[in-house]
Amino acid sequence: MKIIALKILILGGTSFLGPHLVEELHEHGHEVTLFNRGTHNTPFSSAVEQLHGDRDGNLQSLLDRRWDAIIDTSGHLPRVVENSSKILAAATSHYTFISTIGVYENFHKIGIDETYSLAKLEDEKNEEITEKTYGALKALCEDVIRRYFPSKSLIIRPGLIVGPLDPTDRFTYWPVRIAEGGDVLVPGKPTQNLQLIDARDLAKWIVVMVEQKATGTYNATGPATSLTFDQLLRECQKFSKKNSTIHWVDEDFLIQHDVKDWVELPLWLSSVRNMPGFLNINAQKAVQAGLTFRPIASTISSLLEWNSSRGNIAKQAGLDREKEKKLLQLWKSKKTNTSNDKF
């Protein structure tokens, strides 16, 4: 079926998921306009119209315009989302809001679907974005979108987004660390389940859903079949030219030595957080709606290639190599002493 070219407005669009959306939209022959503050360098050609402004006050460039669809990648504060929604409600026939699985009240349960209860702010006037408030603020943003676009809104709740252009290094750390070789400290258990989605897969699916004018709320994470931490690391090793030795370190030991989960050792969420469901989300609704996933090997390969193009920049996540070395020395000593105690 031939797709009619659409005029698409992306709110944000200059980092990570945004450029992948622009590329996918162009491949489908759509006309793309970006609205943002203009503070980031963009790799886009002149084929992308750029409107500059600020959702928190300067929305003049959005006035008296109309688009077939809008994709909102930058809405974080409900008040700010409402500011732009007042203008855009009559300017489009379809609105996609990129939310997060972080909107859920907690992650005590495995297999959370889209009907699970949502997080709430203790003070709804609080606009400080922190790890604690981020999801609740996004949930309020969803409410705003549903109110202004009641029959034409698509809410996407991604899990951990990974792949080229990822500024967080939350996933990138592992392919890069394994590629360096040597002794590698890995937290927790080899059987720990992981969930993630390549930004390019997410962008491809979003574009199709926009073309179909799909509505409703969808969790969006993968892969299609279960992926354990051990499987991920083994895939990373296939791309490394250097030998690496994996050392699985007990989380109690890591907590005792003040190692920060998720930040210093990405993909590890300690039992202290009580979040077993965070990497065990139910995304079957999105899969049934056509969401597909490339092999994890493809994501790893692309990440390593992209990372090599970044140069020697400071990474946003991951364990300091000297700290890793010292922790491994302590861990090996502990294991040796424990073994000796048995005799």
Q: What are the pLDDT tens digits along the chain (343 aa)? A: 567 899 999 999 999 999 999 999 999 999 999 999 988 777 776 689 999 999 998 999 999 999 999 999 999 999 999 999 999 999 999 999 999 999 999 999 999 999 999 999 999 889 999 999 999 999 999 999 999 999 999 999 999 999 999 999 999 999 999 999 999 999 999 999 999 999 999 999 999 999 999 999 999 999 999 999 999 999 999 999 999 999 999 999 999 999 999 999 999 999 999 999 999 999 999 999 999 999 999 999 999 999 999 988 888 999 999 999 999 999 999 878 765 444 3
Task: List the beta bridge partners of residue 73.
Answer: none
Q: Is residue 277 part of a domain?
A: yes
Q: What pLDDT was estimated at residue 4?
A: 87
Contact 158, 197 (CB under 8 A): yes
CA torsion 77→78→84→90, rounded to 10°?
150
Give the number of other Cβ atoms within 10 Å of residue 301's Cβ.
15
d(CA 251, CA 189): 9
The pLDDT, as a whole number, for residue 41 is 75
Cis before 223? omega within 30 = yes
CA distance 325 to 218: 42
Residue 343 confidence (pLDDT): 35
Query: What pLDDT is stored for residue 39 in this prediction?
Result: 82
Dist CA 33 CA 48 (whole Å): 6
Question: Does residue 172 form part of some domain?
Answer: yes
Instruction: Spell 254-270 as b/e; 16+ CB within 10 A means b.
Output: beeeebebbebbbbbbb
Domains: count for the chain: 1
Burial class (CB in 10 A: 0-12, 13-18, 19+), 191: exposed
- 343 occurs within a structural domain: no
**Is residue 81, in this structure, part of any structural domain at all?**
yes
- Is residue 338 domain-resident? no
What local confidence, expressed as pLDDT, does residue 298 receive?
98
The predicted pLDDT at position 342 comes to: 46
Tokens 């050392």 appear where?
A: 247
CATH number of the domain encompassing residue 193: 3.40.50.720
pLDDT of residue 266: 97
Do 73 and 161 touch, CB atoms closer than 8 A? Answer: no
Expressed as residue numbers, the domain containing 151 is 7-333
- Whether 2 is covered by a domain: the verdict is no
SS3 (DSSP) at 272: helix
What is residue 40's predicted lDDT score, i.e. its pLDDT?
79
Is residue 135 a part of any domain in this protein?
yes
* C-alpha distance across the termini of the chain, in Å: 73
What is the pTM (predicted TM-score) of this model? 0.95
- 282: its two tokens: 């139910």
Let me know if residue 231 belongs to a domain.
Answer: yes
What is the phi-psi region of residue 116: left when phi exceeds 0, alpha when psi lies from -120 to 50, beta otherwise? Answer: beta
Please give the C-alpha separations between residue 47 and each of 26, 33, 34, 84, 106, in angstroms, as whole numbers.
9, 9, 11, 24, 43
- What's the token pair of residue 118? 């949502």
What pLDDT, on a 0 to 100 scale, did the predictor assign at position 339? 53
Q: How far is the C-alpha of 254 from the C-alpha of 46, rounded, in Å? A: 50
